[in-house]
Structure 1
Amino acid sequence: MSSVIDESAISPTLNPTIVQHRRDSLEKHLQTRPELQDLKDRHILLDTNAAPSLQATQAELARRRASINLKKHLEKRPDRDDLVEKNILPTARTDIAPSLQANARDLERNMLADNLEHKIKDRPDPERLIAKGILDESEDPRSPTE
């Protein structure tokens, strides 16, 4: 019994059709390959001129430098009380849950606005103020200014 072996059935890499298909596929992928600068911009490749054996050390030094700078800036950061005193941060309310504090601030602001509007409506007219001697007739806001 003689055996004839089809080599393309044993190793598909020897089949010229498959080899050509792989070459075409590889060529297609190489044509759409991203540029070197694009890979650096997306932090896939390191943007460095250092030798590959030194790149890890360079990255570690950069991390340390950033960490030291961050610690330095955090030490110089003003504390919360100073920021509250300068009205940069609102006064902390410990009697209200943090999730409700924004609603409480809005409610307080609206209540202040309503109170102010109520006081403006109830203020005396200029005639009364003139009669009481609080305003002079020349200070009457209704009179035309020259």
Structure 2
Amino acid sequence: MVNSDIDETSLAISPIERRNSLEKHLLTRPDPHDLKERHILLDTTVAPSLQAAHQELARQRTSDSLKKNLERRPDRDELVERNILPSLGTAPALQANALELEKHMRADSLEHKIQNRPQPEDLISQGILAEDEDPRA
């Protein structure tokens, strides 16, 4: 397979033919914007002699920012306390099943409490509800 980007024109040709070949390749070369998108040229306004220092400074600034944010990151206990992470002591592979089990146990407990709640007339006779607060009326 022949790469069309490589000028394989013989050096033994005349200077006019060599110039035409060079002009042909210059017409098909990518523009600076394309080279910047492909990360071949740096997209910067810094002088070329300072570009390496500019890149190193940017890299160091990013590194410092990451370190600072990692130091301020809350620990696991605080995330559990704020209900961001689950407080389960189970293996990660079992956590989904444990959460599902906990959900069903809570639903069963609520169902049991609803079935065993006192009737409104019992609450009225005990003085907890007034007669005008009867939920059935």
**Superposition TM-score, scaled by structure 2 size:** 0.66
Deviations 1:4-29 (A, max 9, x none): xxxxxxxx957xxxx9xxx7xx77x9
The Cα shift of 1:38 comes to 5.0
Output the CA distance in 2 between the equivalents of 1:40 and 1:122. Answer: 72
Output the CA distance in 1 between the equivalents of 2:119 and 2:92. Answer: 44
The Cα shift of 1:37 comes to 3.7
Q: CA RMSD in A?
A: 2.9
In structure 2, the CA distance between the partners of 1:108 and 1:65, relative to structure 1 (3 Å rule), is same
Output the CA distance in 1 between the equivalents of 2:79 and 2:96. Answer: 18
Is 2:133 the partner of 1:139? yes
In structure 2, the CA distance between the partners of 1:72 and 1:134, relative to structure 1 (3 Å rule), is same
- Partner amino acid, structure 2, of 1:58: H
Same amino acid, percent of matched pairs: 60
The Cα shift of 1:68 comes to 0.5
Deviations 1:78-107 (A, max 9, x none): 2222222222222141xx222111221122
Q: Corresponding residue for 2:82?
A: 86
- Which of these two proteins has the greater Rg computed from alpha carbons? 1
Report how many aligned residue pairs link the two structures: 118
- Partner amino acid, structure 2, of 1:97: A
Which residues in structure 2 correspond to 1:22-61 (within 5 Å)? 30=28, 33=30, 36-37=32-33, 39-41=35-37, 43-61=39-57
Is 2:128 the partner of 1:128? no
Partner secondary structure for residue 115 of structure 1: helix
Q: Corresponding residue for 2:107?
A: 113
The Cα shift of 1:62 comes to 0.8
Output the CA distance in 2 between the equivalents of 1:140 and 1:41. Answer: 73
Runs ≥4 in structure 1, deviation > 6 angstroms?
Answer: none
Output the CA distance in 2 between the equivalents of 1:44 and 1:102. Answer: 47
Which of the numbers 91, 94, 119 marks the counterpart of 1:97? 91
**Superposition TM-score, scaled by structure 1 size:** 0.63
Q: Corresponding residue for 1:65?
A: 61
Structure 2 unaligned runs (5+)? 1-7, 11-16
Partner secondary structure for residue 118 of structure 2: coil
In structure 2, the CA distance between the partners of 1:110 and 1:130, relative to structure 1 (3 Å rule), is same
